[in-house]
Structure 1
Amino acid sequence: MRLSTVILPVRRWHDGGREQWVRAERLGFHAAYTYDHLSWRSLRDRAWFGAIPTLTAAAGVTERLRLGTMVTSPNFRHPVTLAKELITLDDVSGGRITLGIGAGAAGYDATALGQEAWSPRERAARFEEFVPLLDRLLTEDAVSHDGTYYSASEARTIPGCVQRPRLPFAIAAAGPRALGVVARHGQAWVTIGDIKLWRTGTAEQSMEAIREQSARLDDACAAEGRDPAGLERILLTGLTPDRPLASLDAFVDFAGKYAALGFTEIVLHAPVPDSMFDTSQEVFERIATEGLAQLGGN
């Protein structure tokens, strides 16, 4: 199992932001991700910086750490412009980028460009068109596409990604249509569990919901003729009833259960003071340096 972190883009680069990314590498995390939103929930009226520039800066101050979004969505992105930014970011980082991507939700990003929020059905349909078009843009030199929601006219994406055939997609999915996208295009699957259980459910209910999601992913892979064992499985914590950051022992117990369920990567939010992610920095760093060793290694 691998251990990664999410660094929310809430600090100015020269006032603690840079050091967070450098520290994540020193602590030994496999990857450090950031949210790709224009603003987010309870942090909407606080400082919030752009994901792609933040990751570009992070690439310049790290050497080994994988970097990525957790997650990008079509809410305010277009495949053509996103592909160009990702190719550039992959080049700057020396091939260390993972694209976390999902269908998006009905939050602030959904209406920030002045449009009405899409229905869940339209979000799913857009996602089914967005991901394969992005896949083509990252693997072909020139792409034309005239779709229901997205178009490209001889879009050039030369020289392509450093990683071949393209950088990996870690696709967030829970519903059947999105799980189909994972099976067709993903190198990894991302889940946050069942959001309805976040505040009122139990750890046991959450694990059972995630177990059911994982089984549905297996079915989606079977329908596509794909071996599900070839997919990485990533659990983004912080939105389940569990509290793995409560202590080192709590993390080891939590991670052991999900390793047994087939998960290959756990992602922890770096502490953010005065927020829902306000946890002990000391415990967070102890988990980073000791957690996997107590679990039995990676």
Structure 2
Amino acid sequence: MSLLELRAVSHGYRQGGLFAPRTAKSVLRDASLQIAPGECVALLGPTGSGKSTLGRLALGLERPWAGDVRFDGAPLHDRRGRIAPVTRRAIQAVFQDPHGATSPRLTCLEVLAEPLRAGSTGKAALRDQATALLRDVGLDPALLDRLAHRLSGGQLQRLCIARALAPAPRLVLLDEAVNSLDLETQALVLGLLRELRRRRGIAYLFVTHDLRLVKGFADRCYVMQDGQPIEVADPFGPGLVPPAMAALRAAILPALPGPRPLRQPAAANAVLP
């Protein structure tokens, strides 16, 4: 059974205002996607293709105009549009901008405390849990009392990952979660996420526009094409792919270094310079 399933969902946004007629702009059309427990699924596409809209539906932040969103086999929302607390804690997110996702007035401990307090944890136990979370993401527990915005970009993003792990989620949405980091920090954070997935069995919905980040990280791959996620068996293979995937390849793959040509051995009678 799928952990998360979007069945033929359609969604969009209302446009217009006080002096213009209100119209509906469709973004997703009969979109379907599945994620199994412990699986990492990549969702690729350029800006404006509907990736983030699909992610908001997966998080339950919005309800689709049509179709069905299910988590663990049950509808994500009840008849009143509410999400059960246990389901809300089971689905977490890490966003692209860690500075925008945290308050500059909070310490690292305070950032982690909010999801931990839901378990009626005492102060001493809360600090112990926050310490363990920092260690899980490779941060020094001595940072607990430092203001979160005093951390580097990579450290702050790892703090956001620790916050997402605090409720022990089963699914984490990674919405362009490493795109704002430099290449070295990207590799470090992706390696951390890969290890956390192995140890905790977490499933990921990895939303990105960068094809390079998918290889070696995602089990399956979808690309947004005309408001629908189209599954691609091998985004790097020689077979036919949707035009949206071909465009991503054309933008990224020519910039990757190819194999270096073999040097031919010099002839025995060659004159060396």
**Pairwise TM-score range, normalised by the shorter structure:** 0.3 to 0.5
| Structure index of larger Rg | 2
What TM-score does the superposition give when structure 2 sets the normalisation length?
0.40
Q: Which has the higher contact order (CA 8 A, sep 6+)?
A: 2
Structure with higher helix content = 1
